[in-house]
Amino acid sequence: MYNRRKFLQQATGASLAFTIVPRFVLGGRGWTAPSDMIQIGFIGTGKQGRGLLKAFADKARVVAGSDADAQKLALFRSLTEKAYAGMGATSGFKGFREYKDFKELLAQKDIDAVVIATPDHWHAVHTVMAANAGKHVYCEKPLAHSIEEGRAMVNAMKKNKRILQTGSMQRSWENFRKACELVRNGYLGPIKEVLVNVGEAGLPCDLPEQPKPAAVDWEAWVGPAPYHPFNAVLSPPVEEDVFPNWRKYKEYGGGALSDWGAHMFDIAQWGLGMDHTGPVKFIPPAGNGLRGLQMVYANGIVLKHEDFGRNYGVRFIGEKGTIDISREYFDSNPATIATAALQPNDTRLYNSPDHYFDWLNAIKSGKQPICDAETGHRTSSVCCLANIAYWLRQPFDWDPVKEKVTNNEAAQALTKANIRTPWKL
């Protein structure tokens, strides 16, 4: 049994603490009166959830949270209360509620929307249940853990007329938008290839069983996924303040191929104008290569999973030159392409200067945000299919309209959800 007071005193040290200056103090663009703030609950309050708390606390009102780890939830509550205490009485904050069971959080009528920051294997169940409960959803990337789950998420949002934003926030960064606008407007000429450098496919979980901490409800953490005994690599203690490595394992994530692919394949899709479709052929490398997968679009453009020597990023290759874009660089060959000024008649892409405000504004306006459910699903589909190609080491054809592998039964089977009872969609 853990001592909650002692834990909070220890865990809210400098490494985990943060300070928020509220928008209603700063004023300016994006200012929202406290009385008009959307009320949000968090499902998943670990490392990523704490980061998203920083993003949302001054833009909406965070009023509740749920987590399978009682210590992470307790820390999240402490940080939330500290953030609003720093804002003062004008924040309108009236307290934070903890829920061990996320279904109880979804049942709260005063919660307008939820932020889902759980492992990938939970995304679909949480999103579908949230939509059915009338909640808007901000769901971390990759949006879905399988093709079938992703389509179920899109359908649930449409059926319930709710707004979903996928956490592929690079779309709200100026350099990524500018790079894609240059590609879309022909500054590279016709595109031949796109290289995407991210890490490798997901692996089967082979971690040994470890003693489970009393604060962790492991059955609730595993939920819809195939059961594997507790190991701290999957859910590290909160005081370590690290991103957990469940992402590496196919039962819970999709390796870096999905984790970072959800960022970089997303930019490739955006730049090519493929947000509502995807590649039609997947050709894995010969042998056991960890990169080298080729994905071919119907128009002949080849998307390659390839290390082009510049860390994780995207390289667009056209007849007139190349553009390289990542979080660390934005340049071109020749150099004049990246610095070119867009012309008045050029096509402009959705301009979202703040990924989090974009979702909140979409909830109020009823218009879709920059990375809506369909867009997030199509990007996560590329990630899922890329993983399948590496797992099977077999080529296959994909029909992005019917969302079906047309010539490989083993690959088609892996597009289906693998969800345990009672969490079936």
User: Given this model, what pLDDT does residue 35 score?
Assistant: 52
Q: Does 423 fall in a domain?
A: no
User: Rounded mean pLDDT of 141-160?
Assistant: 98
With tokens 């939820």, the residue in question is 114
Whether 57 and 75 map to the same domain: the answer is: yes
Strands 39-43 and 97-99: what pairing? unpaired
Domain boundary among 149, 170, 191: 170
pLDDT at 214 over 90: yes
d(CA 204, CA 216): 23
pLDDT at 55 over 80: yes
Q: What is the mean pLDDT of the chain?
A: 93
Which value, in Å, is the radius of gyration of the alpha carbons in the chain? 22
Whether 272 and 300 map to the same domain: the answer is: yes
Paired tokens of 100: 């061990």
Q: Does 337 fall in a domain?
A: yes
User: Rounded mean pLDDT of 12-31?
Assistant: 46
Whether 157 and 278 map to the same domain: the answer is: no
Burial (0-12, 13-18, 19+ Cβ within 10 Å), 265: buried
Q: Does 245 fall in a domain?
A: no
Whether 176 and 75 map to the same domain: the answer is: no
User: Given this model, what pLDDT does residue 36 score?
Assistant: 75
- The sheet carrying 39-43 orders its strands as 97-99, 61-66, 39-43, 113-116, 136-139, 164-166
Would the CA dihedral through 139, 142, 145, 150 be positive or negative? positive
Whether 195 and 322 map to the same domain: the answer is: yes
Q: Could you report the per-residue pLDDT of 363-393, keeping only the tens digit for each?
A: 999 999 999 999 999 999 999 999 999 999 9
Domain extent at residue 325: 171-201+257-413
Q: Does 175 fall in a domain?
A: yes
> Domain containing 306 — which CATH number?
3.30.360.10
Whether 280 and 301 map to the same domain: the answer is: yes
What string of DSSP letters covers 155-223? HHHHHHT--EEES-GGGGSHHHHHHHHHHHTTTT-SEEEEEEE--PPPB---PPP-PPPTTB-HHHHHT
With tokens 């008045």, the residue in question is 344
Paired tokens of 185: 């407007």
Q: Does 224 fall in a domain?
A: no
Cross-strand bridge partners of residue 207: none
- Give the count of domains, the chain: 2
Backbone φ, ψ for residue 14 (5° rounding): -60, -35
Indicate the SS3 state at residue 330: strand
d(CA 91, CA 114): 19
Whether 94 and 186 map to the same domain: the answer is: no
Domain boundary among 150, 170, 190: 170
Counting every residue, how long is the chain? 425
Whether 270 and 362 map to the same domain: the answer is: yes
Nearest of 142, 265, 248 to residue 196 by alpha carbon: 265
Q: Could you report the per-residue pLDDT of 265-292, keeping only the tens digit for each?
A: 999 999 999 999 999 999 999 999 999 9
Q: Does 370 fall in a domain?
A: yes
Q: Could you report the per-residue pLDDT of 89-112, keeping only the tens digit for each?
A: 778 899 999 999 999 999 999 999
Whether 287 and 393 map to the same domain: the answer is: yes
Whether 60 and 189 map to the same domain: the answer is: no
Whether 92 and 184 map to the same domain: the answer is: no
Instruction: Report which of residues 265 and 5 the model is more confident about.
Output: 265
User: Rounded mean pLDDT of 67-88?
Assistant: 97
Whether 24 and 156 map to the same domain: the answer is: yes
User: Given this model, what pLDDT does residue 251 score?
Assistant: 98
User: Rounded mean pLDDT of 192-214?
Assistant: 98
Q: Does 150 fall in a domain?
A: yes
> Domain containing 48 — which CATH number?
3.40.50.720
Q: Does 221 fall in a domain?
A: no
pLDDT at 151 over 60: yes
